[in-house]
Every structure is written in structure tokens, then in C-alpha cells.
Amino acid sequence: MAEMSPFEPVIGLEIHAQLRTETKIFCGCRNRFGAPPNTDVCPVCLGLPGALPVLNARAVEFAIRAALALNCTVHERSIFARKNYFYPDLPKGYQISQYDRPLATGGWIDLGGTRVGITRLHMEEDAGKSLHHGFADSDRAAYLDFNRAGVPLVEIVTEPDLRSAADAAACFTRIRDLVVALGVNDGNMEEGSLRCDANVSLRPAGSAAFGTKTEIKNINSFRYVAQALDYEIARQAAQLERGQAVDQETRLFDSDRGETQSMRGKEEAHDYRYFPEPDLPPLDVSAAAIDAIRQSLPELPDARERRFVSSYGLSAYDAEVLVRLMPGAADFFEATVAAGASAKAASNWIQGEVRRALKDAGTEDAAAATISPERLAGLIALVERGAISNTVAKTVFERMWTSDRTAQAIVDAEGLAQIDDLALLERLVGEVIAAHPDSVAQIRAGRHNVIGFLVGLVMKATGGKANPRRVSELLTRAINGD
């Protein structure tokens, strides 16, 4: 039996997701990544005196989509609040957020077997970015880029329902899949579109009360969430085993060292002095508007995975790969089947050759495939009709990937159709038998699997164009008699 830790981890996540609106949450500036510093700014998002915020209706709609997909209750009235703190990248000296009356509360998300509660989802604005490096090594200045200031965010807070680092990473992954499928977030964690704060405490196994938690701020990958929590769980366990209390503090994950480090303790914790935002009215959304958004939700990943199993007969594993693990693959798959391919063959080709070719091209996204679902279906049809062997099909696929020709056109132009000429096959079988008397003797002595070696030689002699089953039959008959 594995050694049991006397402590059980308790984990809750706070996830910040940028909303993919055209413009920022309270002004008309462009919401985009990568523009030259301080070019997407105006008096509102720079916090200049007298400038007034105007709420972006599209951001509200996106936030409601996310809240409904997370099974939350969306409130018809919520309130924006000022969260006050001083930081150079926060031009107004406060962030407009929501506090005691958030947009949505009381949801959940399923993780395979376990259900994780969603405490709340609220709207807020992103801050700018501090850059702590200049153009020369000797440059010790800090630079500020306010392009990100005022980008709309939702913060999604989970209940402390998670019990392992792996589950926490899986929860973050599921939430990303969801907001991406909803079209409200681009899922780009390298660009910071999605960030996670992980809260973790330990308690004696079997105890009902929670221990003191630490919060690890701003983690930007699934892998780092798991690594940071594993490190933190081990650190807290060592502390408790030494008989020392865990300090309530905020920590940062150093991905180079694989360690968390203290950023600030309880004493330095911010007092945000929240109060209702006087420059914005309450956010009112009618029940009818909420319902219209509910009706417009697309099929979500869980439901799609289930449908791939029930209506296409795929395995749960194949459904998961297509829906969750290969971006764009589910749409590509459905288009390939709609163009006439069998589901199993389409799934195999997409997870096999298409995925490999995408990787070679430096991407994972099936939408970047240079072969259309219709052309792939054409190739699969040729294999299923027996017009070409699987081996030849792979060659044809290569040619298709780098051209816009159909499978049939390539097979016709290059004479790749399967060889059905019985006389030719029998002659090649005879030649292979004559050249390998040892193998023939082994087969006659009962080592039937040696036949595979001879089949391979005949296939090679035909450039892969014979039907291997046919070749195997001819060899067996020639060697063992009828």
C-alpha cells in the first residue's frame, strides 16, 4: 500500500478570464493584444480626472454566457464597486469590480466524477502592465503599458471543493474549454487572457474544519497550477509535521525553480475599502434578456462529447480527444462525416495523419489543416471501397496535404490504384517463395506468423499497391496447398 499522507489538501480557484470584446469595458478603446505600448488608451482607461465610464453591453452579454454555462444564477441587478489599492499599473488608484452584489452566484462544473461548486462570477476591469526591464541591461526603470487597462474580465471563484493538484489543474482546463467554446475568451494563456489564483490549505484526513490557506497568485498554465500546488502542499505538510502553523499569506510561483515564494503576509494584506461605484448605475438585466442568452448558448463540450459517443459510436477516449484535446478537431470531424466518411475512419485519420501533419507544420489546431474535410472524406472512401491500400493512402495523404488535388486525381495520375491483377500477384508470390526456402520450411513446420515476413516482401515488390489480405491468401495457398 502507498504511504498515506495524514493531511488532505483543500483547494479553491479564482480564475480571471479576459472577454473577447472588440472594445474595452468602460470606453471605446480597442481590446487587443500586442499593439505598441500605450496606443489603445483614452482619458477613461487612463483614469484622467472627469472622464466617465460607460458599460460595454457586449461584455455583459459575454459574462452572462459564461455564468449560465457554469450553471450559475444570474442576478437581475448587480452592483459595480471600487476596489481601492495603489499600484503603478492601476491608473485610477482603484479597480472597478463587483463585490457584495456580483453578477452571478451558485453554479457548478462537473469534472468527470466530481462536481465543483462555483461560488460566484463577477465582472471587472483588467489593470495595465508593468515592464521591469528597459532596452539596456543598465536600465533600471520600470515602464508602464496601459493598453490592457480596462480590458473586460470575469472572475470565476470556485468553492473549496477540490482535493488534489491534479483535480485543480483539470478544473482550470475544463473552465478554459468552456469559455473558449462559448466564444467569450480566446484561451491564450501565454498572452495572459486566462490566469488562475490557487488557494490551498491542509487538514488532518477525516477532519471537517478547514486549515489556514495560502493563495498562489497569477498562474498562467495548467502544468504550473499542478506544479505550484504540489509544491505548496508538500511545503505546508512539512510545516505542519514540524508542529508549526501555516501562515496565511499570498505567494508567487517561480516556474524556473518550481517553488512558491512568499509575496505578502496577512499583516500586509490589502484593505480594499470597497464601496459602490458612484459613476455607474446598478447593472440591470431583465429575466427575458437572461433567458434569450440561455437560448443562444452553443452545445458545450460535455454535451458534445456525449453526443459523439451516442450518435457516432465513438469511444469515450476518441470523443475526448476530438472535443477537448485537439483544438478544432471536433468541427473537422463532423464535417468529414457529413461529407460521407464513416465516423471511426474519420476519427482515426484526424487523430493519426492529420494530427501528425499539423504537428510537423508547428500547430495543433485542426482548423489550420491544408486538407479540407471533403477531400479527407474522398480519401477515406477510396480506402473503404478497396481502391487503394492503407499504405498507399498514407502516400496519397502526403500529396494531398501539399496540393489541392483530390485523392482520386492523385491515384489516377500516379497509377496508385490497388493491383488486382491475379497473374501478376501469383508471379510475385512464386518469386518470393523461391527466394526464401527457409521461411517456407518454417511455415510448413507450423510457424504461421512467418507468413507476415513474406507478405511484406510481396507488398514491397508492388510498391504497397497490393491488397495484403489477398497476398496472404495466395501465399498460404501456394505454401500449404489447398
Enumerate binding residues for ligand ADP (CB under 6 A).
10-14, 157-160, 199-201, 210, 213
**Out of Zn ion, ligand ADP, none, which partner does residue 107 contact, by CB within 5 to 8 A per kind?**
none
Is 33 or 274 the residue whose CB approaches ligand ADP more closely? Answer: 274
Vertex 205 angle, CA 202 and 209, to 5°: 60
Residue 361 C-beta: closest distance to ligand ADP, Å? 39
Is 94 or 333 the residue whose CB approaches Zn ion more closely? Answer: 94
Residue 144 C-beta: closest distance to Zn ion, Å? 15
Among 30, 32, 37, 42, binds Zn ion (CB under 5 A): 42
Is 29 or 383 the residue whose CB approaches Zn ion more closely? Answer: 29
Q: Which stretch binds Zn ion (CB under 5 A): 42-50, 84-92, 151-159, 386-394?
A: 42-50
Residue 124 C-beta: closest distance to Zn ion, Å? 16
Residue 14 C-beta: closest distance to ligand ADP, Å? 5
The grid coordinates of residue 30 equal 480597442
Give the span between the Cα atoms of 320 and 308, in whole angstroms.
9
Residue 344 C-beta: closest distance to ligand ADP, Å? 42
Strand partners, 248: none
Residue 48 C-beta: closest distance to Zn ion, Å? 10
Segment 15-34, which members bind Zn ion (CB under 5 A)?
Answer: 27, 29
Evaluated on CA atoms 314, 316, 318, 324, the torsion sign reads positive
**Out of ligand ADP, Zn ion, none, which partner does residue 326 contact, by CB within 5 to 8 A per kind?**
none
> In what helix (H) or strand (E) does residue 196 lie, and over which residues does it extend?
strand 194-204
**Out of ligand ADP, Zn ion, none, which partner does residue 200 contact, by CB within 5 to 8 A per kind?**
ligand ADP
Residues comprising the chain, all counted: 482
Strand partners, 328: none
Tell me if 75 sits within 8 A of 101, measured CB to CB.
yes
Q: Which stretch binds Zn ion (CB under 5 A): 40-48, 263-271, 327-335, 462-470?
A: 40-48
Is 205 or 367 the residue whose CB approaches ligand ADP more closely? Answer: 205
Tell me if 283 sits within 8 A of 60, measured CB to CB.
yes
Tell me if 12 sits within 8 A of 155, measured CB to CB.
no
Residue 217 C-beta: closest distance to ligand ADP, Å? 12
Q: With binding defined as CB under 5 A, does residue 45 bind Zn ion?
A: yes
**Out of ligand ADP, Zn ion, none, which partner does residue 199 contact, by CB within 5 to 8 A per kind?**
ligand ADP
**Out of ligand ADP, Zn ion, none, which partner does residue 29 contact, by CB within 5 to 8 A per kind?**
Zn ion
Residue 373 C-beta: closest distance to ligand ADP, Å? 41
The grid coordinates of residue 93 equal 488608484
- Residue 9's SS3 state is strand
Is 83 or 213 the residue whose CB approaches ligand ADP more closely? Answer: 213
* Residue that is written with C-alpha cell 478547514 in the block: 210
Is 11 or 379 the residue whose CB approaches ligand ADP more closely? Answer: 11
Is 120 or 465 the residue whose CB approaches ligand ADP more closely? Answer: 120
Judged on CB neighbours under 10 Å (0-12, 13-18, 19+), 389 is buried
Q: With binding defined as CB under 5 A, does residue 440 bind Zn ion?
A: no
Residue 120 C-beta: closest distance to ligand ADP, Å? 9
Residue 27 C-beta: closest distance to Zn ion, Å? 3
Q: Which stretch binds Zn ion (CB under 5 A): 38-46, 174-182, 207-215, 412-420?
A: 38-46
Burial 251-264 (b: 16+ CB within 10 A, else e): bbbeeeeeebeeee
**Out of Zn ion, ligand ADP, none, which partner does residue 27 contact, by CB within 5 to 8 A per kind?**
Zn ion
Segment 80-119, which members bind Zn ion (CB under 5 A)?
Answer: none
Is 27 or 162 the residue whose CB approaches Zn ion more closely? Answer: 27
- Alpha-helical runs (H) found in 385-450: 390-401, 407-414, 422-435, 437-444
Distance of CA 189 to the CA centre of its chain: 10
Q: In what order do the strands lie in the sheet with 104-111?
A: 73-74, 104-111, 114-125, 152-158, 7-18, 194-204, 214-219, 249-254, 259-265
**Out of Zn ion, ligand ADP, none, which partner does residue 201 contact, by CB within 5 to 8 A per kind?**
ligand ADP
Give the span between the Cα atoms of 231 and 219, in whole angstroms.
14
Size of the site for Zn ion (CB under 5 A): 5
What is the C-alpha radius of gyration for the chain, rounded to an integer number of angstroms? Answer: 30
Q: How many CA atoms lie within 13 A of 8 on its CB side?
A: 13
Residue 26 C-beta: closest distance to Zn ion, Å? 8
Is 23 or 158 the residue whose CB approaches ligand ADP more closely? Answer: 158
Which residues does 213 contact at the CB level (< 8 Å), separation at least 6?
10, 12, 160, 199, 200, 201, 246, 248
Judged on CB neighbours under 10 Å (0-12, 13-18, 19+), 121 is buried
Q: With binding defined as CB under 5 A, does residue 381 bind Zn ion?
A: no
**Out of Zn ion, ligand ADP, none, which partner does residue 213 contact, by CB within 5 to 8 A per kind?**
ligand ADP
Binding site for Zn ion (CB under 5 A): 27, 29, 42, 44-45
